[in-house]
């Protein structure tokens, strides 16, 4: 069963800030150095100093470092009233209003503490692969702070959106407790309501309890880090009760049938790619030799497996692949012309995994283009883009070699993938907008209970 609980969140004190926009941020993995500096410049109390602090010359593994500074900021801000704690347990209704194209969407979520369970139990499921480096980073931060400073993004099955109805009942027509925008996704209106009515809290928990197959949308590394931290704390405190806070993780829960659930594509730009002279692409299959390959010849080499159609511009390319009924159509740009590559034989999809993004990686990127797997895994040869035009600009400026475009991953494919225990390549989904950081912190130290 899915166990969720309200918690006494730690939040920014609204009496200390004229506008909380100055202290919130994107999630840690969306913050590059330029955006990090923008947050630093916004306020000395921006949450970035905790979730993704700057490194300083002279930092040491044992401290001082960005993790120990995060801990110091956290305690200083609590001591001085920058951060305050809820006086009673609460759920948080979290609504985001935004536009994609000409359409306006409203996505409704619930911030709660979710009991950590292993993926083999079938209650919470992943859909993307994780990597060692980010998990080590998040574990160091979590162990140092003993607090969940952000919410992961989880999806739950609720075809009738009963829980959404309970949330709407709880907030009624009252004004949100937080009403802000965040500077990076500044066209998204962020609303937060604190829910403390015991009857509503109980009803939401009761409706969530029988659910299984909750899917992690964003936050795979943090969820797995939470499991590791939980196990470490259980070993250190074997007499801790089941309601110990370290058995939980902070999450924003959204119904899989919420009408505001939007997934954007993530395009793949290949960069710093030098074709091996011996034609060995390091993938061990040899289906397509990458000897003497260049971006210009990729469409020609793709003709064995794909119907290759030149198109006049980026807009036509994207419209064509987005309209394909199965998603097995991909765009390509290598600096001269745009192409649409449509898979000829769906048996090739069975070989690579039926998801379009898996076909893109295994067949186009690895086999046809010959990009080494390691170059994708360690991100030294790949950049991920929400903006197709940004990827095209990089290629035109010589910063990238070529780019593949793909359509959004469909929700039904994510459900099927997760239920089968399969995982997609990293960055297979881009749920828009992101869950911003700085709304509510969940303390998970050994003395905390829920």
Q: pLDDT of 72-91, one tens digit each?
A: 999 999 999 999 999 999 99
The 10s digit of each residue's pLDDT in 197-249 is: 999 999 999 999 999 999 999 999 999 999 999 999 999 999 999 999 999 99
The answer to the question of residue 312 being in a domain is yes
Around 256, how many Cα atoms within 13 Å sit in the side-chain half-sphere? 19
CA gap 147, 250 in Å, rounded: 9
Task: Evaluate whether residue 46 is within a structural domain.
Answer: yes
Rounded average pLDDT over 151-162: 96
**Three-state DSSP state, 338:** strand
Q: Are residues 131 and 155 in the same domain?
A: yes
Residue positions counted in the chain? 450
**Residue 348: which CATH number?**
3.30.1760
DSSP letter string, 221-285: HHHHHHHHHHHHHHHH-TT--TTBGGGEEEEEEEETT-TT-EEE--EEEE-S----TT---SSS-
Q: Show Cβ contacts of residue 41 under 8 Å, excluding neighbours closer than 6 positions.
A: none
pLDDT of residue 413: 80
Give me the phi and psi of 230, to 5 degrees please.
-55, -45
Do residue 239 and residue 274 come from a single domain?
no
Tens digits of per-residue pLDDT, 162-197? 999 999 999 999 999 999 999 999 999 999 999 999
Find tokens 């593994």 and name the residue.
61
Rounded Cα gap, residues 380 and 400, in angstroms: 12
- 118 within some domain: yes
Classify residue 141: in a domain, yes or no.
Answer: yes
Residue 80 belongs to some domain of the structure: yes
Total domains in the fold of the chain: 2
Residue 221 is assigned to a structural domain of this protein = yes
Residues 224 and 80 grouped into a single domain: yes
pLDDT of residue 130: 83
Indicate whether 192 and 284 sit together in one domain. no
Do 96 and 188 lie in one domain? The reply is: yes
Q: 319 and 379 share a domain?
A: yes
387 and 436 in a single domain? The answer is no
Q: Average model confidence (pLDDT) for the chain? A: 91
Q: Provide the domain limits for residue 209.
A: 4-262+432-443
pLDDT tier at 428, thresholds 50, 70, 90: confident
Is residue 420 assigned to a domain?
no
Query: Is the same domain home to 222 and 279?
Result: no
- Phi, psi for 350 (deg, rounded to 5): -65, -35
Q: What is the mean pLDDT of residues 147-157?
A: 97
The overall pTM is greater than 0.85 = yes
pLDDT of 346 > 90? The answer is no
Kind of pairing between the strands at 124-125 and 214-218: parallel
Are residues 15 and 137 both part of a single domain?
yes
User: Do 59 and 208 fall within a single domain?
Assistant: yes
Q: Does some domain include residue 425?
A: no
User: Which of 273, 304, 268, 271 shows the shortest CA–CA distance to 370?
Assistant: 273
pLDDT value for 278:
40
Q: Does 225 lie in the same domain as 143? A: yes
Residues 96 and 214 in one domain: yes
């Amino acid at each position: 069963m899915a166990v969720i609980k309200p918690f006494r969140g730690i939040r920014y004190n609204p009496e200390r800030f004229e506008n909380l926009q100055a202290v919130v941020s994107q999630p840690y993995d969306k913050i590059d150095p330029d955006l990090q500096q923008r947050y630093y410049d916004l306020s000395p109390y921006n949450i970035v100093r905790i979730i993704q602090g700057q490194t300083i010359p002279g930092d040491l593994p044992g401290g001082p470092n960005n993790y120990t500074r995060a801990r110091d900021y956290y305690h200083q801000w609590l001591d001085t009233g920058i951060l305050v704690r809820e006086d009673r347990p609460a759920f948080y209704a979290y609504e985001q209003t935004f536009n994609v194209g000409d359409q306006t969407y409203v996505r409704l979520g619930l911030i709660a503490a979710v009991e950590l369970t292993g993926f083999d139990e079938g209650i919470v499921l992943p859909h993307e692969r994780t990597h060692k480096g980010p998990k080590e980073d998040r574990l160091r931060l979590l162990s140092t702070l003993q607090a969940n400073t952000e919410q992961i993004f989880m999806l739950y099955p609720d075809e009738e959106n009963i829980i959404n109805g309970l949330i709407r009942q709880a907030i009624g027509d009252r004004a949100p407790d937080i009403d802000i925008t965040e500077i990076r996704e500044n066209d998204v209106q962020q609303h937060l309501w604190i829910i403390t009515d015991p009857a509503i809290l109980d009803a939401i928990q009761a409706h969530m309890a029988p659910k299984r197959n909750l899917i992690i949308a964003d936050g795979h590394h943090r969820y797995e880090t939470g499991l590791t931290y939980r196990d470490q704390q259980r070993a250190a405190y074997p007499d801790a009760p089941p309601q110990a806070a370290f058995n939980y993780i902070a999450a924003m829960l959204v119904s899989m049938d919420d009408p505001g659930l939007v997934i954007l594509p993530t395009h793949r730009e290949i960069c710093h790619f030098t074709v091996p002279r011996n034609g060995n692409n390091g993938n061990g299959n040899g289906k397509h030799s990458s000897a003497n390959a260049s971006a210009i010849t990729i469409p020609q080499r793709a003709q064995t497996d794909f119907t290759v159609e030149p198109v006049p511009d980026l807009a036509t390319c994207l419209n064509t692949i987005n309209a394909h009924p199965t998603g097995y159509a991909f765009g390509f740009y290598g600096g001269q012309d745009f192409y649409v590559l449509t898979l000829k034989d769906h048996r090739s999809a069975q070989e690579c995994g039926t998801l379009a993004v898996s076909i893109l990686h295994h067949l186009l990127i690895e086999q046809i283009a010959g990009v080494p797997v390691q170059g994708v895994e360690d991100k030294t040869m790949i950049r991920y883009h929400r903006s197709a035009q940004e990827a095209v600009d990089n290629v035109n400026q010589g910063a990238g070699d070529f780019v593949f475009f793909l359509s959004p991953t469909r929700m039904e494919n994510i459900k099927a993938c997760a239920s089968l225990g399969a995982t997609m390549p990293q960055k297979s989904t881009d749920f828009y907008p992101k869950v911003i950081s700085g709304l509510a912190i969940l303390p998970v130290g050994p003395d905390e209970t829920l």
